[in-house]
Amino acid sequence: MRKPWLNMDWSVARVLLVWGGAVAAIGTPYLASAQQKSTPPTAGVAPAATYWVYVGAESADLIHRIRFGPEGTVVEKTTEIGTQAAETEGPHGLQISRDGKYLHMSTGHGQPDGMYWKYDLGPDTLVGNPISLGMFPASLDVTSDGRYAFVVNFNLHGEMVPSSVSVVYTPTNTEVARTTTCVMPHGSRIRGDGAKQYSTCMMNDQLVELDTRNFKVTGRFSVAAGKEGVVSDYHADHDMAGMKMDNAEGHGASLTASCSPTWAQPAVTGTLVYVACNKTNEILEVDAATWKLTRRIRTGVGPYNLAVTPDGKLLVATLKKGNGIQAFDLATGSSVYEDRTSTTLAHGVTVSPDSRYAFVSSEGVGAAPGKVDVFDLQAHRKVGTVDVGQQASGIAFWKMEPK
Measured distance CA(277)–CA(284) in Å, rounded? 7
Q: What is the pLDDT of residue 82?
A: 87
d(CA 114, CA 137): 6
Secondary structure of residue 104 in the 3-state scheme: strand
pLDDT at 301: 97
CB atoms within 10 A of CB 12: 8
**pLDDT tier for residue 44 given thresholds of 50, 70 and 90:** low
pLDDT of amino acid 312: 98
Does residue 39 register a pLDDT over 70?
Answer: no
For residues 2 and 176, which has the higher predicted lDDT (pLDDT)? 176
Assess contact for 326 and 348: CB atoms under 8 A: no
In which band, very low, low, confident or very high, does the pLDDT at 242 lie, cut at 50, 70 and 90?
A: very low
What percent of the chain has pLDDT above 70?
A: 83
Which among 49, 41, 37 has a CA at the least distance from the CA of 76? 37
Domain ranges of the chain: 14-29+48-402
Query: pLDDT digit string (tens) for 73-87?
Result: 999 999 999 887 778
Phi-psi region of 22 (alpha: psi -120 to 50; beta: other; left: phi over 0): left
- Please give the span between the terminal C-alpha atoms of the chain, in angstroms, as a whole number: 33
Rounded mean pLDDT, 390-399: 97
Q: Of 137, 98, 192, 105, whose CA–CA distance to 397 is shortest?
A: 98
Provide the mean pLDDT of the chain.
Answer: 87
Structure confidence at residue 51 as a pLDDT band (50, 70, 90): very high
Say if strands 229-230 and 245-246 run parallel, antiparallel, or are unpaired.
Answer: unpaired
Name residue 376's beta-bridge partners. Answer: 357, 381
90 vs 237, higher pLDDT = 90
Least confident of 27-41, 164-178, 210-224, 227-241: 27-41
22-26, 56-60, 207-211, 354-358: which has the minimum mean pLDDT? 22-26
Selection from 175, 214, 174 nearest residue 197 by Cα: 214
How far apart (Å, rounded) are the C-alpha atoms in residues 361 and 320?
10
Please tell me the class of the 14-29+48-402 domain.
Answer: mainly beta
In angstroms, how far is CA 106 from the centroid of its own chain?
10
Strands annotated E in 62-184 = 62-69, 72-80, 91-96, 102-107, 115-120, 125-126, 131-132, 137-142, 148-153, 164-169, 174-180
The pLDDT value recorded for residue 3 is: 40
What separation in angstroms does the CA of 163 have from each of 136, 201, 202? 10, 10, 11
Q: Given pLDDT bands bounded at 50, 70 and 90, which one contains residue 382?
A: very high
Of 243 and 72, more confident: 72
Handedness of CA 223, 227, 233, 236 (dihedral sign): negative
Q: What is the largest CA-CA distance in the chain?
A: 58
For residue 1, pLDDT beyond 90: no
Please compute the mean of the pLDDT values over residues 233-243 and round it to a whole number: 54
What pLDDT score does 236 carry? 55
C-alpha neighbours within 13 Å on the C-beta side of residue 125: 3
Report yes or no: 75 and 35 within 8 Å, Cβ to Cβ: yes
Whether the per-residue pLDDT at 183 is higher than 80: the answer is yes
Please report the pLDDT score of residue 38 as a whole number: 59
318, 329 Cβ separation under 8 angstroms: no
Plot region of 356 (φ>0 → left; ψ -120 to 50 → alpha; else → beta): alpha
User: pLDDT grade, residue 37 (50/70/90)?
Assistant: low
256 contact partners, CB below 8 Å, separation of at least 6: 238, 239, 243
Q: How many CB atoms lie within 10 A of CB 353?
A: 14
Confidence of residue 29 (pLDDT cuts 50, 70, 90): very low
Identify which has the larger pLDDT, 13 or 211: 211
What does pTM read for this prediction? 0.87
Tell me: the pLDDT tens digits for 295-333? 999 999 999 999 999 999 999 999 999 999 999 999 999
Q: Which of 393, 19, 9, 376 is nearest to 184 (CA)?
A: 19
* Residue 175: CA count within 13 A, CB half-sphere: 21
223-235 average pLDDT score? 88
Tens-place pLDDT, residues 104-139: 999 998 777 899 999 999 999 999 999 999 999 999
Would you say 201 and 182 are in contact if contact means Cβ atoms under 8 Å apart? yes
Q: Summarize pLDDT for 348-365 with one digit per residue, the tens.
A: 999 999 999 999 999 999
